[in-house]
Structure 1
Amino acid sequence: MVSSRSVLLCVRTVHTSCRMNKRGPLTIDGWYPRDHMPDDYPKNEEERRAAAIKYGMRPEDYKPYDKDDYYKYAGNYPDYGCVTYDHKDPYENWSDPHYRRNWGEGMNIQAVMHTCDRDSYTTLIFCWIGIQTWPKGRKWKNDIMLKQYPYDIKRAYPFTDPRIYPITNYTFEPMD
């Protein structure tokens, strides 16, 4: 039987091994380490140059998101432009062929919107045109139902007139 001390030692050695800690604090593949998080917006040319080097870009190509764009602004993260999954060559040898990405390649801040399982812009435009031009798409009408009578419609429907059947009113008073 294995003692609890040996199990604890085994767990401790696996946890502190080189294999578990080689990527720093994160162990999930594809996630950037903590030092790749965006810093503050560059205030001068030196900070701008340092941010370009940090993200692996030439300083003349580096352009951060505008500070006034509250939807996309993320510190000194660069604006890579919109390069979707459909714009990339399917025959290139990608590090991650499912998403057509190479290791270390910069990603747009809204990259989730442009993955392979999303519709392309052309598809969305054709869907919108199809919905707008569908002949009965915007003609909302009331449902056509039977005319409602205060008569016994269930007994008369579908072949006779319900007006020939008398209306039965029930009372709970004793008969005289």
Structure 2
Amino acid sequence: MAARRLLTSRTLIGLPGGLPGLLPGLYPGLLGLQVSRNVGHWNKDWKPKPYPVTPEERAEAARKYGLRPDEYEPYADDGMGYGDYPNLPVVSAESRDPYEDWDYPEHRRNFGEPVHVDFDMYGLDRINASQKMRFSMQQYALSFFGVMAVSIGIYYYLEDKKMHWPVLPKQYPGDGAVHYTFEPAE
């Protein structure tokens, strides 16, 4: 209201009738000063509620996240602040069906579908936790440390060896001829 009074002040504008007299049809939304309330959700609407204790609270939380009460399991109340958010299994986006008609195909998920707490870590361009590796982690570790040990061994073996580059002295046309000098010309 104060901004409206300020814009319509005759002393500020210096026009008869103020700004509303100049632009009567445009005044309510002039300069974006009109307050509009958008219909939608706030982040506080998505914030998890406290950890459910009673069966009624668990059933309400399961309904909130679109799960059946028997498949709803919240995270442990260990102080991390997950509240009533469901402990969902880790399913990477890369392991989901690429030919399904997803609402969000870039994430391979549908609207309203609850996502894992670490959803940003399991996208199409991130870790695929569902992938079966070609070799075991022990084989990967053994290969890595084997290559590093051989590289370090070669380095320490060759560290004190002298390197000799066989080169000849620079050759100029004509023996003993001075081709340039830094002395002033005579």
- Give the TM-score taking structure 1 as reference length: 0.61
Task: Specify the code of the residue in structure 1 equivalent to 2:122.
Answer: H
- The structural deviation recorded for 1:147 is 5.4
User: Are residue 137 (structure 1) and residue 163 (structure 2) matched?
Assistant: no
Kindly indicate whether the alpha-carbon contact (under 8 Å) linking 1:42 and 1:51 is maintained by their aligned counterparts in 2. Answer: yes
- The structural deviation recorded for 1:53 is 1.4
Kindly indicate whether the alpha-carbon contact (under 8 Å) linking 2:74 and 2:87 is maintained by their aligned counterparts in 1. Answer: yes
Question: For residues 68-87 of structure 1, what are the structure 2 equivalents within 5 Å?
Answer: 68=78, 74-87=82-95
Counterpart pick for 1:16 among 36, 40, 55: 36
- Alignment deviations for residues 32-57 of structure 1 (CA, whole Å, 9 cap, x no partner): x3222111111111111111111121
Residue segments in structure 1 that go unaligned for 5+ positions in a row: 26-32, 149-156, 161-176
- Alignment deviations for residues 35-80 of structure 1 (CA, whole Å, 9 cap, x no partner): 2211111111111111111112121221101224x66x61110112
In structure 2, the partner of 1:113 is 121
> Mean Cα displacement is larger for which, 81-90 or 132-141?
132-141
Residue segments in structure 2 that go unaligned for 5+ positions in a row: 1-12, 14-18, 20-25, 168-186
Kindly indicate whether the alpha-carbon contact (under 8 Å) linking 1:131 and 1:137 is maintained by their aligned counterparts in 2. Answer: no
Name the count of aligned residue pairs. Answer: 137
Question: Based on CA coordinates, which of the two structures has the bigger radius of gyration?
Answer: 2
- Alignment deviations for residues 69-107 of structure 1 (CA, whole Å, 9 cap, x no partner): x66x61110112112112211101111101101110000
Counterpart pick for 2:73 among 63, 69, 76: 63
- Give the TM-score taking structure 2 as reference length: 0.58
Change (3 A) 1:119 1:47: closer
Give aligned-pair identity as a percent.
30
